[in-house]
Amino acid sequence: MQVDTRLLIGDDRPDLDPARAIEVTNPADGRRLATIADATPSQVNDAVTAAEAAFEQWRRTSGADRTRLMHRLADLIDRDADALARLETADNGKLLRETSTQARFAARNYRFFAGLADKIHGRTIPLDSWDTFDYTVREPVGVAALITAWNSPMQLLANKLAPALAAGCTVVIKPSELAPLTTLRLADYVAEAGFPRGVVNIVTGGAETGAALTADPRLGRISFTGSVPTGQAIARAATRTLVPVTLELGGKSANIVFDDADLDRAVPGAVSGIFAAGGQTCIAGSRLLVHDSIHDEFVERVTEVARTIVLGDPIEEATQMGPVASSAQRQRILGMIQQAQADGARLMAGGRAPEDQRLAAGYFVEPTVFADVDPVAAIAQQEVFGPVLVTHRFADDTHAIAIANGTEFGLASGIWTSDVSRAHRVARELVAGTVWVNTYRYSAAQAPFGGVKKSGHGRERGIEAIDEYLRTKNVLIDLSTRVRDPFSIKA
């Protein structure tokens, strides 16, 4: 699939400046895929200006018309889903079967929020005085900055762009410079679908580009998915402009297996939770908590699967795990593995870059399992964002809950049990935005998603997500004909 890698500012596509260019590479083989722009602060300013100008028209566009355009966008994504999946796999190294699912999930997200675009309404409020009429209206916040990570660009963007468009916001999108290509392809789709110029703007680049965007006081909302340090930097910038922020950050999610679990289902659930995407998801079940009575058997079964996972080209059907996203990310992961071994963690599988010469050009890390890890060890507390699983023993429900809640993160968690009462009890006690029971990594457009603690705040997906892009205005009307005392306050 050919991609125009230029910025989108209104309907302008400025030529790439060779002096401000970033190369995009395929993490499976290190091959150069494209060259993108490193947008200047001036270009970011122009993008926000274009979005601000378009907002006056877009906010007056009827919900029915926004619905029609969003369905058309979803149709275009479905039409090209296979090509988009191949492009994203080349860009970020995820398995083709996963990016294929994510392309279609993105289209589903646009359709879900298209259904809400004409159903945004306020309420009437009865006040204490009979002769007053009070009501609320919900209005779009204005220009939204949407900043996405490299691990799932299509899906992450749909989580943000779909509710923003439905709410009547215009947007400036900044994808990660490591995997921007499917986002840049979106520029063609919004034009083909018929969106007015300036409703969607796209800037690419590194830290300077992101800092220029998040510092703009004209924004009505910043929505960011990525690392905790970057999220903290964005939140600090937003305090200066008082722009509200939605943050979807990291995780160190606990996947809890009780002694009454169906192990034949729980083993693949534990493997999928951490290795299906190479551990490069914020929801990765990177901490496996197993009841004492089944711990050794269960961990051995998971380890055996980890040892047989097929690494390779993510395009190939036989491949079960692809590369990590970059050379720097691989070095970071391997460094954390080495430190865990130095700290005494018991290595059960993996722990290094593969020796297979067919994989030498790519950024691969073997599926890694550590057993009997101290819950307070660095490898059990810090997000690795790679194919590294740590396991913990627990004695009872209370012990499992304490370990699960014992990190600074609170994004997701899993429970494996045959006891429905236990499932509800434990789910109630887990400090996490999502709790899965007898499954893991299940996503739905209708289900709200987001974290607590250092995993962020705000929600994406579900009807809750559109609230991130709306604000409430209260209108109070005095229906009486009386002249009121100007020095008294009517309550």
Residue 442 lies in a domain: no
Pick from 398, 347, 393: nearest CA to 369: 347
Number of domains in the chain: 2
Say if residue 485's pLDDT is above 90.
Answer: no
Determine the 3-state secondary structure of 53 from DSSP: helix
Question: pLDDT for 36-84, tens place per residue?
Answer: 999 999 999 999 999 999 999 999 999 999 999 999 999 999 999 999 9
Say if residue 1's pLDDT is above 90.
Answer: no
Catalytic residue at 248? yes
CB 162 within 8 A of CB 113: yes
Residue 4 lies in a domain: no
Question: What is the percentage of the chain residues whose pLDDT exceeds 70?
Answer: 99
Say if residue 227's pLDDT is above 70.
Answer: yes
Residue 3 lies in a domain: no
Question: pLDDT for 354-385, tens place per residue?
Answer: 999 999 999 999 999 999 999 999 999 999 99
**Do residue 259 and residue 339 come from a single domain?**
yes
**Do residue 266 and residue 138 come from a single domain?**
no
**Do residue 184 and residue 277 come from a single domain?**
no
Strands 245-248 and 456-457: antiparallel
**Do residue 239 and residue 270 come from a single domain?**
no
**Do residue 265 and residue 209 come from a single domain?**
no
CA dist., res. 101 & res. 184, Å (int): 19
SS3 sequence of 92-110: HCCCHHHHHHHHHHHHHHH
- Provide the pLDDT for residue 2: 84
**Do residue 457 and residue 432 come from a single domain?**
no
**Do residue 384 and residue 417 come from a single domain?**
yes
CA dist., res. 160 & res. 298, Å (int): 38
How far is C-alpha 195 from the chain's CA centre? 24
Residue owning tokens 């551990």: 279
- Provide the pLDDT for residue 489: 67
CB 158 within 8 A of CB 106: yes
Extract the tokens encoding 474. Answer: 């209260």
**Do residue 200 and residue 259 come from a single domain?**
no
Catalytic residue at 169? no
Phi (first) and psi of residue 86, to 5 degrees? -65, -40
Extract the tokens encoding 45. Answer: 């300013």
How many helices and strands (H and E) does the chain possess?
A: 14, 18
CATH number for position 461: 3.40.605.10
Task: Assign 491 a pLDDT band (cuts: 50, 70, 90).
Answer: low
Candidates 248, 383, 460, 468; catalytic one: 248
- Provide the pLDDT for residue 58: 98
Question: pLDDT for 189-216, tens place per residue?
Answer: 999 999 999 999 999 999 999 999 999 9
Total length of the chain: 491
- Provide the pLDDT for residue 346: 96
Q: Give CA separation, 343 vs 128, 335, 337, 368, 378, in Å.
A: 66, 12, 10, 16, 9
Say if residue 156's pLDDT is above 80.
Answer: yes
**Do residue 239 and residue 356 come from a single domain?**
no
Averaged over 220-249, what is the pLDDT? Answer: 97
Residue 348 lies in a domain: yes
Residue 119 lies in a domain: yes
CA dist., res. 43 & res. 331, Å (int): 33
- Provide the pLDDT for residue 286: 98
Question: What is the percentage of the chain residues whose pLDDT exceeds 90?
Answer: 97
Candidates 88, 98, 169, 282; catalytic one: 282
Question: What pTM value is reported for the model?
Answer: 0.95
User: What is the 3-state composition of the chain as percent helix, strand, coil, each rounded to the nearest 5?
Assistant: 40, 20, 40
**Do residue 160 and residue 62 come from a single domain?**
yes
Question: pLDDT for 158-173, tens place per residue?
Answer: 999 999 999 999 999 9
Averaged over 339-368, what is the pLDDT? Answer: 95
Segment holding 37, helix H or strand E: strand 32-37
Across the beta sheet with 470-478, what order do the strands follow? 124-125, 132-140, 470-478
Q: Last residue of some domain: 413, 437, 461?
A: 437
Residue 444 lies in a domain: no
**Do residue 26 and residue 54 come from a single domain?**
yes
CB 74 within 8 A of CB 110: yes
Residue 336 lies in a domain: yes
Residue 5 lies in a domain: no
**Do residue 167 and residue 267 come from a single domain?**
no
Say if residue 420's pLDDT is above 90.
Answer: yes
Averaged over 132-157, what is the pLDDT? Answer: 97
Domain carrying residue 93:
18-249+451-474
Task: Assign 490 a pLDDT band (cuts: 50, 70, 90).
Answer: low
Extract the tokens encoding 429. Answer: 């006690």
CATH number for position 326: 3.40.309.10
